[in-house]
Amino acid sequence: MPRYKLSYFDIDGGRAEPIRIVFHAAGIDFEDNRISFAEFSEMRSGLRFNSVPVLEIDGAQITQSNALSRYIGKMAGLYPADDLQALYCDEVMGALEDLTHYIVRTFGLEGEELRLAREKLVDGWLSVFLRGLDQLLIRGGGEYFADNRLTVADLRAFVQTRSLCSGILDYVPTDIVQRLAPGLFEHKERINADPRVKAYYATRP
């Protein structure tokens, strides 16, 4: 069995959270290397793209969160075998990665600059992506995005909508998902109740 070490920030959410959930769902042992932002600054220059998450497989570094989700997802049975359903799954994960880029652009801002940037985000790209993801959920049948079952796309969407509803992002209304994408909000509740997801969060402090 290969040795897996996943390095990412010590936060509840973010790009590595779906990968952590999939590892747990698959029952695959891995080192959950949770780093501080100070530790990241020290190790950043030694990372291929100066970013995390990074998965080490027997010491070899692999990057790109969606690629990692697919790789582990296949081992966990949480990625579609059908090519079209896999495409649907990838479309959702790609859209969520695009949305993450827009959100990350507001990190590090303060005061009035932060308020204006987040309000622009809410009225612009955040609304566009939430409505678009709601449509993709309808295409998938309303309960899941692809394959009529839980996949890595559902986990990535769940982590994102859970974050948006938590109030962790200042000036982003906690009811924005429920208002703009009610199906997506129900999806968040459905995935949260999945035994595999509940089992993962039961391991967290």
* 8/23 same-domain check: yes
CA–CA dist 11, 124 (Å, integer): 26
Q: Which of 50, 77, 104 is the last residue of a domain?
A: 77
Q: Which of 21, 54, 77 is the last residue of a domain?
A: 77
pLDDT tens column, 82-93 = 999 999 999 999
* 92/173 same-domain check: yes
**CATH number of the domain to which 9 belongs:** 3.40.30.10
Residue 204 Cα distances to 10, 32, 99, 154, angstroms: 11, 12, 26, 20
Task: Supply the DSSP string of 18-35, one letter for each residue.
Answer: HHHHHHHHHT---EEEEE
* Number of domains the chain contains: 2
**CATH number of the domain to which 145 belongs:** 1.20.1050.10
* 73/161 same-domain check: no
CA–CA dist 52, 138 (Å, integer): 32
pLDDT tens column, 68-80 = 999 999 999 999 9
The predicted structure's pLDDT at residue 187:
98
* 186/101 same-domain check: yes
Q: Please give the share of the chain, as a percent, with pLDDT higher than 70.
A: 100
Average pLDDT, the chain: 96
Nearest partner of 31 among 12, 43, 16, judged by Cα: 16
Model confidence pTM above 0.85:
yes
Asked whether the predicted pLDDT for residue 12 surpasses 90, the reply is no
CA–CA dist 162, 99 (Å, integer): 14
Q: What residues make up the domain containing 61? A: 4-77
* 21/103 same-domain check: no
Instruction: Please name the residues in contact with 205: beta carbons below 8 A apart, sequence gap of 6 or more.
Output: none
The predicted structure's pLDDT at residue 154:
98
The predicted structure's pLDDT at residue 8:
96
Asked whether the predicted pLDDT for residue 205 surpasses 80, the reply is no
pLDDT tens column, 123-176 = 999 999 999 999 999 999 999 999 999 999 999 999 999 999 999 999 999 999
Q: Which of 35, 58, 77 is the last residue of a domain?
A: 77
The predicted structure's pLDDT at residue 7:
96
Asked whether the predicted pLDDT for residue 203 surpasses 90, the reply is no
CA–CA dist 175, 169 (Å, integer): 12
Q: Is 202 within a domain? A: no
